[in-house]
Structure 1
Amino acid sequence: MPTGPVQEALDALPLVDHHCHGVVTGDLDRQAFETLITEGGAWPGISTFDSPVGVAIRRHCAPLLDLPRHAQPDAYLARRAELGPGEVHRRFLAAAGTEVFCVDTGYAPERLTTPAELVEPVGGTAYEIVRLESVAEEVAAQGGEPGEYADRFRVAALEAVRRPGVVGVKSVAAYRTGFDLDPARPSDAEVTEAARRLLASGAGRLADPVLVRHLLWTAVDLGLPLQLHVGLGDNDIRLHRSDPAHLTDWLHLTAGTIPVMLLHCWPYQRQAAHLAAVFEQVYLDVGLALHHVGPARARAVLEEALEITPFRKLLYSSDAYGVAEFHCLGALSFRRALAALLQERVDDDELDLPDALRLAEWAGAHNARRVYRLPGAS
């Protein structure tokens, strides 16, 4: 185990996870579990336990189920089933040491815990992040006239963000169109014509570039922090189009408006760092990547992100989805990686210890509290 004063401070710090999801409430068989721990799905003859994330689960999560390190998959899943989803959930969230969870509720093909259900076993605080594509698709599913779409979406989005506990919004534009879009706000006529195409198609999926642009500008009008998925995702994403550098012109146009939170970022953590360094409103995390590479490689990912990122711009997220292991593994990877990087700078006399401890608290909790205006912000 890594040691040192920075590691000790981070281990004791209650984290603020500024982007995560709920966990599946029912029992999981092997195929369901293996599908949930990968972005690629479970394939015949290839076990996702034989991947970096699968190995990390067996190494770091097995002891929390009273199993030896590196427990074999069948033993791991049998013990998980024996304990039941509620106890598994409690153990891993308690081990994560996360105090505040900002929960994206917009994607739930399985029955997931609500924000309140997610934190109930550990007594944390949960807030909600509204996924704007889900709101737009609900509006489109209700039909109506194309010329009414923009106003109806605006009203529905306002209603959604006024729900108690909502602190931000999110877009998955990276999945739907990518970021290489015309950065300008679309005209009313353009939105009406795009809505006409969407409603006539009956597709239900918001993937029209004009409507995605309209969604992003609506987010600006809402005034809350906007989370943007960047980089790594499932095979629905076109990775080269999710490079956040494509957002540069849009960020110029939206300067002075809302905080823009670049989520996950791998393999574009350096591009995201550049944007955070040159645009006041841009922040980043490397969340999803951390549990997929595991503690063994989390430092390498975070190290690139921190080459030029201002320390007030780095946040923690787990992007945990479906299985509680990811809440635990994400927190462990983040604490170890950040502690190692900061402690090395202290040891090399590039940073003094009080500054290192302050920067660790910023990244692990205080930056998120400040941006999302949560209690305890500093």
Structure 2
Amino acid sequence: MDDCTSLRHLVQTHPLIDNHAHNILGRDVATDYDSYPLESIVSEAHGRAMANASTTLPMLRAVKQLSELYGTPTEDWNELVEARNRWVKDDYEGLVRRSLEGTHTLLLDDLLTEDDVEAYDWHDRFTTASTKRIVRIEAVAASLLTDLMGSERKPDETVWGLFRQRFLDAIDNAMDDPAVVGFKSVICYRTGLDVDPYSADEEALTASLYRTLDSGTRKSGYRVEDKPLNDWLVQQTLKAITFKKAARVVKPIQFHTGLGDNDISLVKANPAYLQPLIAQYQNADIVLLHSAYPFTREAGYLASVYPNVYLDLGEVFPMVSRDGQEKILRQSLEIAPVNRLLWSTDGHFHPETFWLANRQFRQALEKVLIEYVQCGDLSSVQAETAAKSILFENSNRLYQLNASLNDKPSSSYSLPMSVTRTKQAGNPSHDQLDTILQKFPDLEYVWMQWIDYTATLRVRIFPIAEFVRIARKQRRVGISLAVFWMLQDDTVLPEGSTTGQFYLEPDLSSLYQNASMKTSASSATIMNFWRSEGNEPIDGCPRSTLENIVQKLRTEHDVEALCGFEIEVIFLKPRRDAEGRITDYIAATENHSWSQMTSETRKTIPLLEQIHQTLASMGINLQQFHAESAPGQFEFILPPAKPLAAVDILYAARQVITAIADEHGLRATLHPRPFSSGAGSAAHAHISINKVERESSFLSGVLTHFPAIAAFTLSQDASYERVRSGIWAGSEWVAWGFQNREAPVRKIGAGHWEFKSVDGVANTYLAMAALLAGGYIGLSSGAELKVEECTVDASKLSSAELAELGITTPLPKSLSDSLAALDQDEALKYIMGPRLVSYYISVKQAESKRLMAMSPQARRIWLLEKY
């Protein structure tokens, strides 16, 4: 028989993530048993049926266990209530703290009620990590209807049209909110789980909305319980989840299933009804709540055959007897994969609901797992792994919490030095800063970075106490306006000004820990916006320029874009003279070819794996990496994200690659073509848009303005050494083709393109802004795509063949050509910002003049060491 001592200890003490719960009552109403009966801790009954709860096995068991919690041995309910009231009066927070002991993170559906309960972040003081939110979509819809019926409408606006847009915006905002980790639907209570996977037509949805409005008033509120409308809410949420998952933003949706009060249709609470919906949205993660009791086996079956389905084991603890709980747990394990089982308390109102659920679940889990070990179905190690997965790891992974068992309890956390953590209510940036400081409690320095027009990464380093002051707008960081006209060696152009300054405003969402930096202290990097004296966005800020164009696409065309990058980098070995000075660089691997493992590339595996593992520790998950064509060249493919975040990820990843290469005695270069033979290095950019029906206009705009866009995407004279036919660099003509790697624009799928004329020496914020600006211009003018698909290398076609396909524009052959095209492209200049374009052209012309005055070898070494 296996020794189960270690298993028992682990099950009873391992920190847990509660993946579904609700807010706790405030102290003032915690003993208002008329509104919040204490018997509800073990029963979903209401009214007269609640009187019978005192005779159930769950209640009798709870009384015995609660008497231990209160320190008052008794089997009498009235005595128990008196003991409980004393706790509430004397030390309510102590009762809450004890009830939540062992809880690492709470995920709260905080829309159960807005009255009488504490705010979601109030719970932080009792848990290790910050509480996260689960957004209940029906509550969002009801709130929007109340607001809508209390506001005036324009003559051309309809109730349905306004509601539709506001609901979609609310879901999109929740997807972007770092405090929100998922959604929840109670459609089970409203119209049942037989959700139609496909939307009704506009007429039916409008009628459904009006029926909903007829059933309530603005004063009483609106209960959303008309099937076409309820189904639509679920469908739209699943669509948003699916779209965002492509950008590695994973926010599951939870469905109430099974166990509920008498307001539920028990028959339609069976999760089997969800099967068509699950099959339709297989890229959306779905959590079946409450053990689906009494349909646990059906839920387990769905979790076993659909990779996007998870089974929550909550609510039956403490609502069901001990035997029932153990049977439910066994039924869950009959067929469902262990990595698809999640724990929750469904704790709500009374803190004891959390304590009872956690205690009883640990007891049941210990008993069931030990039985499986003793009968030989599991080894003790396998049982311990299962326990860790269910209690912590599955939820941590699914909700992308990035929680660590080494996290310090938030209640004991304090900032370094004398900085205070006073949270300013209603200020998301302060909440976000608190989250960062809790996640990285040992952080000592923050590197505030920005990218100038020469694509030089510049940095200021601040001790954490000073950075907190900056993030909370208690002080500002001024940067000379000379940056607008500055070259890599800090030379300022004659037309530049050294008078005046702009201010760095840290974008907290861009912070990454410096996991690859060999420093003695913990540090992080963060990107910044440029702000004016009046704290307004300043013309010429690369990040603001990109964000503004993304916003214009969203608000004017309802277009959301995702971006992703392929980092091509060449690892070089330095050559040194007798004094140790670097005289040249050679490829780190010579026996090298595309996607091949040679004797030399095999030696780079530790380097490549270290890069991947470091990025993963930062939350940047590479999709793949492999050898590219040139000697020493490798490619790292990053995940898609929203444009600004995608570029932030790109720069964070490049810093890791460079730092780790340096550890190995190598130089990682982004030089477009460091060797005259073979392929060059690019930074292929992927863009996808959600409005695939308008992809032709978007693409037409990009192609029309491509010569001017190239001034930002191919921003060095060396960039044009790569624009050659026959080396998979995009050839020499402005063209596009489906899966054509010898076209500058490769169409990959509906609304998804790869832009090959981008490289690593560009300011990528500006490069992506220019590409999206071209698409925006095309959408705004309703441009018709006149360039037809090219299936070959366009440079191999005759003039007649090019003309037949509408391919009439060659790619610029030099930086001066693309800068001239930019200077003449009034539409692109207007969208990018005339001031920015003017500064940019001046800087790039002066930079080019200086570099082209060098010898080819000196220029090559200079670029290798800068980029």
Same structural fold, with TM-score higher than 0.5 when normalized by the shorter chain:
yes
Question: Equivalent residue for 2:80?
Answer: 76
Q: 1:305-364 CA distances to partner (integer Å, 9 max, x unpaired)?
A: 111010110000100111111101111122121222221111111111111111110011
Question: Equivalent residue for 2:392?
Answer: 365
**1:43-192 correspondence runs (5 A):** 43=48, 46=51, 48-68=53-73, 70-84=74-88, 85-94=92-101, 97-108=102-113, 110-141=115-146, 142-143=148-149, 145-192=159-206
Q: 1:247-283 CA distances to partner (integer Å, 9 max, x unpaired)?
A: 111111111x211000011001100001001111000
Question: Equivalent residue for 1:260?
Answer: 286
1:287 maps to 2:334: no
Secondary structure at the counterpart of residue 129 of structure 1: strand
Secondary structure at the counterpart of residue 251 of structure 1: helix
Question: Equivalent residue for 1:198?
Answer: 212
Aligned CA RMSD, in angstroms, stands at 2.1
Distance 1:44 1:185, change over 3 A: closer
1:232 maps to 2:259: yes
Q: Which among 308, 317, 339 is matched to residue 335 of structure 2? A: 308
Question: Equivalent residue for 2:674?
Answer: none
Q: 1:68-90 CA distances to partner (integer Å, 9 max, x unpaired)?
A: 2x531111111111121333222
TM-superposed deviation, 1:172: 0.1
1:274 maps to 2:301: yes
TM-superposed deviation, 1:218: 1.5
CA contact (8 A) 2:253 2:286 kept: yes
| Structure-2 separation of matches of 1:63 and 1:107 | 29
| Structure-2 separation of matches of 1:296 and 1:249 | 33
Question: Equivalent residue for 1:24?
Answer: 25
| Structure-2 separation of matches of 1:346 and 1:302 | 15
| Structure-2 separation of matches of 1:109 and 1:372 | 24
Q: Which letter does structure 2 place at the counterpart of 1:50?
A: T
| Structure-2 separation of matches of 1:201 and 1:237 | 18
TM-superposed deviation, 1:232: 0.6
CA contact (8 A) 1:21 1:319 kept: yes
Question: Equivalent residue for 1:345?
Answer: 372
| Structure-2 separation of matches of 1:368 and 1:145 | 39
Structure 2-normalised TM-score?
0.41
Higher helix proportion, which one? Answer: 1
1:299 maps to 2:326: yes
| Structure-1 separation of matches of 2:134 and 2:329 | 24
Q: 1:150-202 CA distances to partner (integer Å, 9 max, x unpaired)?
A: 22210122224433411000000000000123322333443233223333444
1:211 maps to 2:229: yes
Distance 1:316 1:350, change over 3 A: same
| Structure-2 separation of matches of 1:49 and 1:116 | 34
Q: Which of structure 1's runs of 4+ aligned residues deviate more than 6 A?
A: none
| Structure-1 separation of matches of 2:40 and 2:392 | 27
| Structure-2 separation of matches of 1:275 and 1:350 | 23
Q: Which letter does structure 2 place at the counterpart of 1:93?
A: L
| Structure-2 separation of matches of 1:81 and 1:285 | 32
1:34 maps to 2:34: no
How many pairs are equivalent?
372
| Structure-2 separation of matches of 1:232 and 1:313 | 20
Return 5+ residue gaps in structure 2 as ranges.
150-157, 242-250, 405-616, 618-867
CA contact (8 A) 1:295 1:336 kept: no
Distance 1:17 1:283, change over 3 A: same
TM-superposed deviation, 1:123: 4.5
Question: Equivalent residue for 2:481?
Answer: none
TM-superposed deviation, 1:44: 8.2
CA contact (8 A) 1:17 1:98 kept: yes
| Structure-2 separation of matches of 1:197 and 1:122 | 43
| Structure-1 separation of matches of 2:314 and 2:346 | 6
| Structure-1 separation of matches of 2:49 and 2:368 | 39
Percentage of identical aligned residues? 28
Q: Answer with 1 or 2: which has the greater Rg.
A: 2
Secondary structure at the counterpart of residue 81 of structure 1: helix
| Structure-1 separation of matches of 2:215 and 2:25 | 33
Secondary structure at the counterpart of residue 232 of structure 1: coil
Secondary structure at the counterpart of residue 169 of structure 1: strand
Structure 1-normalised TM-score?
0.92
1:7 maps to 2:8: yes
Distance 1:11 1:125, change over 3 A: farther
| Structure-1 separation of matches of 2:95 and 2:382 | 37
Q: Which among 245, 255, 258 is matched to residue 272 of structure 2? A: 245
Secondary structure at the counterpart of residue 55 of structure 2: coil
| Structure-1 separation of matches of 2:296 and 2:173 | 34
| Structure-2 separation of matches of 1:16 and 1:123 | 10
Return 5+ residue gaps in structure 1 as ranges.
none
Deviates more, 1:36-45 or 1:137-146: 36-45
Distance 1:107 1:6, change over 3 A: same
